[in-house]
Amino acid sequence: MKVKTKAYAKINLLLDIEGLRTDGYHELFMIMQSVSAADTVTVEKVRGGGIGVTCNVEGIPCDESNIVYKCAREFFRYNRITRYGINIDINKRIPHAAGLAGGSADGAGTLVALNELYGTELSADELCEIGLKVGSDIPFCIVGGTKLAQGRGEVLSKVKPLRKCYIVLAKPEISVSTGKAYAAFDEFGKSRTPDKLGMLCAVQSRDLRAVCDKLDNVFEQFIEVPARVDIKQVMRDNGALGACMSGSGPTVFGIFENKDDAENAAAELKTFVKDVLVTTPVSKGVKICK
């Protein structure tokens, strides 16, 4: 018996860090959007006990440190299931350590698949509660679509869906540690606060151009990504309505109304950026493949 899921990547249309919390995490205000770049996560019941992890990409740890392993362990604890034997296979397409929540998406895919495989009928809220024990972005990755995310990232509010568009993702070859990125915020602080109200108004009026005018991410103020300026320039030269970094980086995304423009930008970006993908917004975090 196995269940296969598509676990979607996310971008941050806006990301503000509002301060340091007493629990050591940071208080966030983010407008999140799921995009069509996805990993496939397949969970299968197997003979013998325990949790096995396999992955098509070298360098991803397939042990207890993997987010999918931790999510499965928390799922079984929550449901008081003590006898289990599963394998979780991850087929990675989302660039990792990229600011696209690839690992969190895999965790979300695992939880949704396990809920189906074991017939536990947990609600989305319950799955999010389990996911939050493992990572701050997992609740959003379970729910997906377009959301306002606050708190650690788990307090999700419904906002209007983004209009149809094309989103080009360009990930330069450097990796950014999320923990270190937040530590840099603690050290340097921010010099400017994104226009959160302006972005919310733009989102709620479904005005794509206004959304693109308000794209902003405080991490850009203190995380150095040498290729960022050039990537944004190529995106704009090819007709992007706006461009911004996602999460703690280094991925830069550009939003286009026109598919040909997006593809032309992607072709030019591929000459100097390793991972480039043309995506569209999606309304879910995880899809069960039938």
Q: Which residues are catalytic?
A: 10, 137
| Residue spans of beta strands (DSSP E) within the chain | 2-20, 26-45, 50-55, 85-91, 146-151, 155-158, 166-171, 216-217, 242-245, 252-256, 275-279, 286-289
Q: Which stretch in 22-30, 120-128, 191-199, 209-217 sits in contact with ligand C5P by CB under 6 A?
A: 22-30
Q: CA 149 to CA 157: how far, in whole Å? A: 6
> Cβ of residue 154: shortest distance to ligand C5P, in angstroms?
9
Residue 218 contacts ligand C5P per CB under 6 A: no
Which residue type does 50 have? G
Residue among 119 and 179 whose Cβ is closer to ligand C5P: 179
Residue 137 contacts ligand C5P per CB under 6 A: yes
Burial class (CB in 10 A: 0-12, 13-18, 19+), 196: middle
Binding test (CB under 6 A) with ligand C5P, winner from 135, 145, 172, 247: 135
Q: Which stretch in 44-52, 109-117, 175-183, 270-278 sits in contact with ligand C5P by CB under 6 A?
A: 175-183
Only one residue has tokens 């690839």, namely 102
CA distances from 118 to 74, 75, 164 (A): 14, 10, 36
Q: CA 17 to CA 189: how far, in whole Å? A: 9
Q: Which stretch in 41-49, 116-124, 130-138, 257-265 sits in contact with ligand C5P by CB under 6 A?
A: 130-138
Binding test (CB under 6 A) with ligand C5P, winner from 4, 10, 26, 70: 26
Binding test (CB under 6 A) with ligand C5P, winner from 110, 115, 178, 238: 178
Enter the tokens of residue 20: 């340091």
CB distance 2 to 54 below 8 Å: no
Residue 232 contacts ligand C5P per CB under 6 A: no
Binding test (CB under 6 A) with ligand C5P, winner from 29, 140, 182, 219: 182
Residue 70 contacts ligand C5P per CB under 6 A: no
Per-residue binding string, ligand C5P, 147-166, x by CB under 6 A, is -----xx-------------
DSSP state, residue 270: T
Residue among 182 and 253 whose Cβ is closer to ligand C5P: 182
Burial class (CB in 10 A: 0-12, 13-18, 19+), 80: exposed
Site residues (vs ligand C5P, CB under 6 A): 25-26, 28, 135-137, 152-153, 178-179, 182
